[in-house]
Amino acid sequence: MASEIWAHRGSSKSQPENTMAAFEQAVADKAEGIELDVQRSRDGRLVVYHDENLKRLTGKDAYLATLNWADLQQLNVAANRPEA
């Protein structure tokens, strides 16, 4: 039986999770699939993000569902990465 390699939130070890960079790296790494998380912003936009609260990745202590798309676009999901 052949193994399948799936990228959890993209290639989140080398790139910020659930970002296009992580998804593109997963494709480059030849992952057979990508697992991702989707939520809605306050104004109903679909957003790829795992946690309900934004603090772990962005440093902003707020719930994704309470912010509008325009507010979310101002955040940096790599803010808490050591190399950011």
* Residues annotated catalytic, as ranges: 8, 50
List of long-range contacts for 55-58, beta carbons under 8 Å, 24+ apart: 56/80, 57/16, 57/17
Query: Collapsing DSSP states into helix, strand and coil, what is residue 69?
Result: helix
Query: DSSP secondary-structure letter at 66?
Result: G
Residue type, 42: R
